[in-house]
Structure 1
Amino acid sequence: MDNQPNNNQEQEVDLVPVFVWISNGFKNLFNAIGGLFKGLGHFLILFLIFIKNNIILLGILFVLGAGLGNYLSRQSKKNFTAQLRVQPNFESAGQLISNLEYYNSLVEEEDFTTLGKELNLTTDEASTLVSFEITADYNDTELLEEYDYMARRADTIALENYTFEGFKLAKRDIDYQFYKVEIAAKSKTALEKAAVLAIEVEDNPLIKAQRTAGRETTAFNISKMEYQLAEIDSLISAYQVAIKDKESSLSSGTNVFVNGQSKTETFKDLFNEKARMLFNLETEREKKYGYENTVNIVSYFVKKGVIVNKHLTVTFAFVFFGFGLLIALIPLVFRFLNTYQKEHNS
């Protein structure tokens, strides 16, 4: 009993270093945070001094960039832009992309004679064409439909580690269903002639084979669905006749409703099946007519100026400003390298 006060005193003494260690930890943390802000402030001041010392160079390049961007923006507003949303069939997306890149290279090389021959234009009309661009055009809903279509036909085990996000990441430039094509020209007449011709893809043996297979498959599916619809209509008529005969005789005749289903449930199932079959038949007919062209045009419109505002004035101003920073940094880098070399050689 006499030793209990001494034990409490020893425990209190042992806790003192712990509180000192915690106090020093907080002090070091706050000192580190303060040092970080101090370093950031010092860097900001040095950067502002650097800007001040090179304000003339940076200002000139900033103004030049803004002027160039403003000029290009005004020039783009004088052009006409055709935007098309297209759907390539028969794995022709790769050829379509290659064709448009080829046309754009002819514009950059100013080979308007060849470009005119490719697009059935005169040389003067081809010389008014400015650019050809193509990008994949999609949203998550369309990609989800593609993923669902693939998942229904794939092995369940194979899809365990193949998520929708993985499906999107695995997409290549030639794997999308829809593409956005933008063609710019100085002449609206030449643009309207070139826009439709530019997205045409000539048939090769693979495209011809896939077109034939697609047509034969859709024709078979349509014929099969039409037969099934006729059978469903006959079955509905037979049920109606059986019900009428049963109700008119008021006898306990043979029950035409199997599995204990009621009249309402049976007709509901039949009409739902008919509606589903009609929807599938409509889809197959759309495929049939969609296979007429190698590349289908989903939407197409022409507008004067650019379709999307690219903010060229601001973009070029900051690009030239960044270029000026690089130029201004070159003397500082050389000075540092020379000082470093002298220190280590000595």
Structure 2
Amino acid sequence: MSSNSPTNPDNQEIDLAQVSRKLGNVYQNFLAWIFRGFLFARRNIIILTILFIVGAGLGFYLDKNTKVYNHEVIITPNFGSAEYVYSKVNLINSKIKENDKKFLKSIGIADIDDFLEIEIKPITDVYGFASQKELNFEIIKLMSENGDINKVIENPTTSINYTNHKLKITTKGIASQKSLIDPILNYLNSNEYFSKIQKSVHDSNLLKLEANQKTIRQIDSLLASFSSSANQSGKNDKLVYYNENTQLNDVLKTKSELIQEQANKRIEIITGDKTVKENATILNIKNTESINGKLKIVFPFLFIGLFLLFGLLKDFYRSQSKKLATTTSK
């Protein structure tokens, strides 16, 4: 004989009826809440209209008179100075948050109160990073085998070694190259250690250019001599001709490599004239992030929302006071 008692159909009907009544009560309460809200809005339509107009007017005024701008500078940290640059940028940003006017003034920032934020991010260029040297390619290859390639590319250990990085500066009001960008770049380029390295590399490149140019002139002289002797001599000795032609190919290859190295050295001199090289600057990009420029929309709804919240709290206080009074009277 089974120990489980059969389910009573009457109990199931009672449960369903109770659930149906509760859902009906919830629906009726929701409709009543909407109706009370409609009555509240109708009673206070003048106040709500005034709040909307005042909020829109105030927001429009603030949007017009308080404008925030972004300024972007693409830089190249040379001579392994990327970590140094990141630490200096983070230091400047921390001084802004601390409102350390003495420090900001010491590095040449003119409009200290308008200086809101500075940050630096790498410009992702995994192909350029991998092509710089074979070791970089092997590092990316090794790291990608053990994880997601996208995570490897964005990993700070990898990304800080990319060639170019972007400085993003935020200010209240417009700024100029002279008053904002130049002081920051001068500060980043003020490190004595990296300045010595820059000078040493620059001098070395100049010497290399001069040495390569002498070698190229010697090769040109050798080629001219070879051409002259080839025209005067006969072409009967094929072995000698073959050997000389093979040597000539090596000489031409060496000259081509030297010319390419000369071009690379000239580019290095241009790009390496400073520790932190400024490549491009874009000033006064209007900032529309967060609520910047949107106060004319935010303020009306904020004021109306606060008024509605006050009304709800007032009704809640009244209802709780009535309940307390009823309980006390009993």
Q: Is 1:132 the counterpart of 2:123 in the alignment?
A: no
Which of 47, 65, 82 aligns to 1:75? It is 65
- The residue that corresponds to 1:103 in the other structure is 96
Cα deviation for residue 224 of structure 1 reads: 4.1
Distance in 2, Cα, partners of 1:150 & 1:62: 62
Q: Is 1:182 the counterpart of 2:200 in the alignment?
A: no
Three-state SS of the structure 2 residue aligned to 1:201 is: helix
- The residue that corresponds to 1:166 in the other structure is 151
Distance in 1, Cα, partners of 2:35 & 2:118: 42
Which of 246, 271, 295 aligns to 1:258? It is 246
- The residue that corresponds to 1:149 in the other structure is 132
Per-residue CA shift, 1:208-251, capped at 9, x if unaligned?
A: 33443454345445534543453344234313321321122234
Distance in 2, Cα, partners of 1:278 & 1:58: 74
Per-residue CA shift, 1:159-205, capped at 9, x if unaligned?
A: 5527762343213799363233435366979x84454224443788x
Residue 71 of structure 1 aligns with an amino acid whose one-letter code is Y
Distance 1:58 1:271, change over 3 A: farther
Distance 1:318 1:151, change over 3 A: farther
Give the unaligned 5+ runs of structure 2: 1-26, 317-330
Contact persistence 2:123–2:166 (CA under 8 A)? no
* RMSD of aligned Cα (Å): 5.1
Distance in 2, Cα, partners of 1:301 & 1:312: 19
Contact persistence 1:85–1:299 (CA under 8 A)? yes
Structure 2 length-normalised TM: 0.56
Three-state SS of the structure 2 residue aligned to 1:289 is: coil
Three-state SS of the structure 2 residue aligned to 1:250 is: coil
Which of 295, 304, 307 aligns to 2:285? It is 307
Which of 89, 93, 108 aligns to 2:86? It is 93
Cα deviation for residue 317 of structure 1 reads: 2.5
Distance in 2, Cα, partners of 1:202 & 1:138: 16
Residue 180 of structure 1 aligns with an amino acid whose one-letter code is L
Contact persistence 2:58–2:296 (CA under 8 A)? yes
Task: Count residues with an aligned counterpart.
Answer: 267
Distance in 1, Cα, partners of 2:69 & 2:148: 42
Distance in 1, Cα, partners of 2:51 & 2:127: 47
Per-residue CA shift, 1:37-62, capped at 9, x if unaligned?
A: xxxxx9xx99xx59975867998877
- The residue that corresponds to 1:201 in the other structure is 187
Contact persistence 1:72–1:312 (CA under 8 A)? no
Residue 238 of structure 1 aligns with an amino acid whose one-letter code is L
- The residue that corresponds to 2:278 in the other structure is 297
Structure 1 length-normalised TM: 0.54
Per-residue CA shift, 1:55-108, capped at 9, x if unaligned?
A: 67998877666545433321145x8876544444522222123214413542xx
Distance 1:87 1:134, change over 3 A: farther
Give the unaligned 5+ runs of structure 1: 1-41, 336-346
Contact persistence 2:152–2:158 (CA under 8 A)? no
Per-residue CA shift, 1:19-50, capped at 9, x if unaligned?
A: xxxxxxxxxxxxxxxxxxxxxxx9xx99xx59
Distance in 2, Cα, partners of 1:230 & 1:182: 47
Three-state SS of the structure 2 residue aligned to 1:134 is: strand
Q: Is 1:118 the counterpart of 2:103 in the alignment?
A: no
Distance 1:101 1:267, change over 3 A: same
- The residue that corresponds to 2:229 in the other structure is 245
Distance 1:68 1:268, change over 3 A: farther
Contact persistence 2:219–2:255 (CA under 8 A)? no
